[in-house]
Structure formats: structure tokens, C-alpha cells
Amino acid sequence: MAMQMAETTNPQASSKAGVFAKRTGSTLFLWALVSGVFISFNSWAYLGLIGLLAMIAAVEYFTIAGKAGLACFPRFGIALALAYFLTLAVFLSAGNMPPPEIDAFFVALATTGAFTLQLRHPIRGTQPLVAVATHVLGFIYIPVLFSFAARIIFMVPGGLETAGAVTKPGAFLLLWLVAVTKFTDMGAYITGSLIGKHKMIPHVSPGKTWEGIAGGIAFAQLGACGLYALFTDQLSFLQSYGHVVTLGFILATLAVIGDLAESIVKRSLDAKDSGNMLPGIGGALDLIDSICFTAPALFFYLKWILLPAA
């Protein structure tokens, strides 16, 4: 009897170990790539990596939407995302922060363009509105929200002084954002896997537990305060541990919400992963889903609270 139980449990343990190994390998590869871009301090390397991830994620979004039977104008959406990121890159690499009108223009273009393309098709119930809404959501959710990761690099004092270069404060601020966000994901995954018992939102994400969320927040604070202690000079723009702890809690909370937001998208479209670019992790959207929510929060915290006090 004991031998039979061991035979039935070993495959599951082996499967979990395999997933963990793949996820670890993908994570190490990503950190190696990010580290290479980080030490280059070249604006186009940073903008290229951020833009590439956004474009792949946009392709994944429109692909899984199409597989689910939603007409959402994928070619127009992908072309618009590319034009948007190229426009931002031109401004930022030249040492200029893009004006807010750029975002408004592209959102207006996404909306009017989707309605214009819908004119070619007959009206069948709510299908036209769903098509337009799916298209506009895809543009705002991925290219617009993720673009704040690029803006953060250049918004700190000194970040726009040298065209074509990234200053240390801007580079370390982006590294800090990614680390806090990913520490949240990692902490939630490890803690939930080890001691998770109480389901958080099983109708959205069956694997999420309250223990995992608590672990994610704890890991986020560890990453936030640890990096601030190690690189106090480079991250001096964060000013104090009070701001670091506050931001750590805000970013951890939004990282969880960002992960759950993608779960809503995938479950609605009956997709297990957004893609298969990274074994054990999934696609680009699986990688940046949390950053799409944490990057805007850090940007506006810097703009409205830390910049005026600097």
C-alpha cells in the first residue's frame, strides 16, 4: 500500500520539481539579459528591451484574443503599439520627456481607428463593442502602462542631461522597480507553494493563497530595503526608508493585482499562458503583467511626491 502511494505521489513531485527547474532557468536567463542591458548604460539598449517585451506581449494578447474568437483588429493594434513605442523612444533618447498629449493622441487614434475598422463588418449584437473594447484595452493595458518603465529611467534629476545615455540614478531606479516587483512574485510563489492553505480568489486564480500574498509583501520589503541599503547613493532619490517601505507596500500590492489582472484576461480567453517564450514562466505578458501596474505607480509617486520635495 505504501509503495502504491509513493508511486502515485512521485510523478506529481517530479512535475513540480520540473516546473521549478524550468522557472529557475528562465529567471536566471532573464537576469543575465537584464544585467547586460543594465551595465551598458545605453538608452537604446534599455528602450529596445522594454519595447521588444511590450511588442511581444501585445502580439500574445491579440493572438490569444483571436483564438478565443474575438475580432479585435490585431494588425492595427500591433502597428499602433510599434508606432507608439518608437515615438516615445525618439523623445527619450534625445533627452526629452514625452508630453502627455502623446498618450492622449495614441489612445484617441486607437479608439477612432477601431471604430473605423468596425464599419466594415455587420452589427451582430454586442460583438462590435466587444471588438472595439478589446482592441483599446489591449493598447492601454500593455504598451501604455508598460511604457512607464521606460519613462522612469529618464525622470530623475540628471536623467535627461546626456542624450543617448542612461544615468546611474535612472538605471538603478528601474532595477529597483523590477527587483521589488519580481521579489513580490517570487515570494508569493515560494511561500504559497510551501505553506499556502487559504485560497485568496479561487474563481480568478486557484493557486493564489493569503499566505503567498503575505510572503510576497515580505519579500518585496526585503528587496526594497535591501537594495536601498546596498545602493544608498545611487538610490538617494528615494530619500528615506519611510518612502522605500511605503513604495514597497504599494508596489507589492499592485504587483499582486497586476498578476491577477492577467489571470482575468487568460481565464476569460481560456488560455493557460500568454505564450511559450520562457519555459516555466510563459510568455512576455506573463513576465511583464505585474510591471504594467507597478511602473505607473512608481512614476506618479516620484512625480507627485518625491520630485516636488527634491
Is pLDDT at 15 greater than 70 in this prediction?
no
Q: Which three cell numbers stand for residue 154?
A: 529618464
DSSP states of 192-214: HHHH--SEEETTTEEEEEHHHHH
**Higher pLDDT pick, 209 / 165:** 209
* pLDDT value, residue 220: 97
Is pLDDT at 140 greater than 80 in this prediction?
yes
**Single-letter code of the amino acid located at 11:** P
DSSP single-letter state for residue 274:
S
d(CA 205, CA 202): 5
User: Could you tell me if residue 245 is inside a domain?
Assistant: yes
The model's pTM? 0.88
Residue numbers of the domain that contains 47: 24-309
* pLDDT value, residue 157: 62
Q: Which residues contact 173 (CB under 8 A, 6 or more apart)?
A: 152, 153, 156, 235, 237, 238, 298
User: Could you tell me if residue 15 is inside a domain?
Assistant: no
Q: Which residues contact 35 (CB under 8 A, 6 or more apart)?
A: none
* pLDDT value, residue 102: 96
User: Could you tell me if residue 18 is inside a domain?
Assistant: no
Q: What is the pLDDT of residues 53-85, one digit of tens each?
A: 999 999 999 999 999 988 889 999 999 999 999
Using alpha carbons only, what angle is made at residue 170 by residues 166 and 174, rounded to the nearest 5 degrees? 115
If one counts the domains in the chain, the total is 1
- Partnered with residue 278 across adjacent β-strands are 282
* pLDDT value, residue 273: 73
d(CA 293, CA 56): 18
d(CA 303, CA 300): 5
**Single-letter code of the amino acid located at 53:** L
User: Could you tell me if residue 249 is inside a domain?
Assistant: yes
